[in-house]
Amino acid sequence: MIFDVEHETMPREELEALQLRRLQSVVARVYENVPFYRKKLDERGVKPEHIQKLSDVTLLPFTEKQDLRNHYPFGLFAVSRENIVRIHSSSGTTGKATVVGYTRRDIKNWGSMIARCLAAAGATSGDFVHNAYGYGLFTGGLGIHNGAEELGATVIPISGGGTRRQAMLLRDFGATVLTCTPSYALHLYEAAKEMGIDIKDLPLRIGIFGAEPWTDSMRNEIENKLGITAIDIYGLSEIMGPGVAIECAKVKKGLHIQEDHFLAEIIDPDTGEQLPHGEKGELVFTTITKEGIPLLRYRTRDISRLNTAPCRCGRTTARMERVTGRSDDMLIIRGVNVFPSQIETILLETDGLTPHYQLIIGRTNNLDTLEIRVEIDEAVFSDQIKNLQRLETKIEKNIKEFLGVTAKCKLVEPKSIERSEGKAKRIVDMRNSQA
């Protein structure tokens, strides 16, 4: 089903004309209201009226995640705080978090975009959505929630965690749509099985999974085990949250971008040059309707490609290829974005530990695991076991508190972390080498 026939199936010339009008409007708004953008545009000698055609988007400056951090918390907002109705934020140490704000209209638009996504995945107002994305500052839970209500479906805000209880309610309530990370879907399946519940026998028929990269073989595994159709959803909090793009259940080849709200480009991550459609590169979005915190040419660091060929589902919107990698060192652990530099900061702030550490990411029972190996030095060494264990616990607690991920800390001997050309190997990701 197509939820918004007008916008999702608009002829491309019409869609592009709409995008241009909205692009002109957003550039004018940020030039007027966001000092950061006014300065950047002035530096380039670009005025809002210079945007005459869609390709003029390349006149605009890029926005980086660091720009949001530098203007923490509300420095890039384009409206006064009174007009913001909700705040979301990514994990991060104080001053390093990226904070986004939504106006009433932003929330409404987001809701209708999620409703489109649910419909594209095959859900209707008669469905029952078991929403296991985390509720709170993370955009996943509340984002899906609003959209499910907008569609008119029944939504159970179960949030993350409490897996045995989730399995029980999935059976007792008979939900038909599951929304969570793909790895959690498999974890839930195993946990349910141990309780004697086979999800395949339940009414569940659709899964909408995102917030972490996954492969087609993982899709096959989920579809076979759970007996459902598994759909990929894409989003990021800086741009909006989940629902920036969605696969259609009919074709399942690429994710339809909500192009009436976001202008997508692919660039060469090294040179910043825009690449023609069909070429692989870094995804860049300009939010063309957002009021709270509109962003020009936001660099997602996600590697993908765009396809504007018409889709058999009837939608005319461009499709982005499933994200195949990153152009930076960001890790996604249980759906949470983690930068090694954040962990480094936490270590330094915890009793002045040396920045000699290594992150080992694995997967146990379909859930990501994070082990942090930290080289011990004389400043924190003690002759007593309890002091060293207290240090490990303190690091684990700080990581959990600031980044929202559970980690296991392990103290190791100095110089024991593998170094190549004098540089420590910071990250060992074993998730892809494991079954």
What is the nearest approach in angstroms of another protein to the Cβ of residue 389?
7
Which is closer to another protein, CB of 52 or CB of 387? 387
Task: Identify the residue among 384, 420, 432, 434 touching another protein (CB under 8 A).
Answer: 384
If binding means CB under 8 A, how many residues of this protein chain bind another protein? 17
| 389 belongs to the binding site for another protein (CB under 8 A) | yes
| Window of 38-46, 246-254, 370-378, 394-402 that interacts with another protein by CB under 8 A | 370-378
| 419 belongs to the binding site for another protein (CB under 8 A) | no
CB-based contacts of 231: which residues, under 8 Å, 6+ apart? 120, 121, 122, 206, 207, 208, 209, 246, 247, 249, 252
| 388 belongs to the binding site for another protein (CB under 8 A) | yes
Helix (H, G, I), strand (E, B) or coil at 109: helix
| 13 belongs to the binding site for another protein (CB under 8 A) | no
Calpha distance 373→417 (Å, rounded): 8
Task: Identify the residue among 34, 263, 376, 407 touching another protein (CB under 8 A).
Answer: 376
| 82 belongs to the binding site for another protein (CB under 8 A) | no
| Window of 18-26, 182-190, 373-381, 397-405 that interacts with another protein by CB under 8 A | 373-381
| 378 belongs to the binding site for another protein (CB under 8 A) | yes
Residue type, 387: N
| 413 belongs to the binding site for another protein (CB under 8 A) | yes
| 364 belongs to the binding site for another protein (CB under 8 A) | no
Calpha distance 134→157 (Å, rounded): 9
| 416 belongs to the binding site for another protein (CB under 8 A) | yes
Which is closer to another protein, CB of 400 or CB of 415? 415
3-state secondary structure 236-286: ECCCCEEEEEEECCCCCCCEEECCCCEEEEEECCCCCCEECCCCCEEEEEE
| Window of 233-241, 246-254, 411-419, 427-435 that interacts with another protein by CB under 8 A | 411-419
What is the nearest approach in angstroms of another protein to the Cβ of residue 392?
8
| Integer angstrom CA distances of residue 187 from 135, 181, 183, 191, 364 | 19, 10, 6, 6, 9
Helix (H, G, I), strand (E, B) or coil at 420: strand
Q: 265 and 297 in contact (C-beta within 8 Å)?
A: yes
CB-based contacts of 191: which residues, under 8 Å, 6+ apart? 163, 164, 166, 167
| 382 belongs to the binding site for another protein (CB under 8 A) | yes
| 422 belongs to the binding site for another protein (CB under 8 A) | no
* DSSP assignment string, 137-169: SSHHHHHHHHHHHHHT-EEE---S--HHHHHHH
Which is closer to another protein, CB of 263 or CB of 407? 407
| 377 belongs to the binding site for another protein (CB under 8 A) | yes
Phi, psi of 27 (to 5 degrees): -65, -40
| 360 belongs to the binding site for another protein (CB under 8 A) | no
Query: Which residues bind to another protein, rule: CB under 8 A?
Result: 376-378, 381-385, 388-389, 410-416
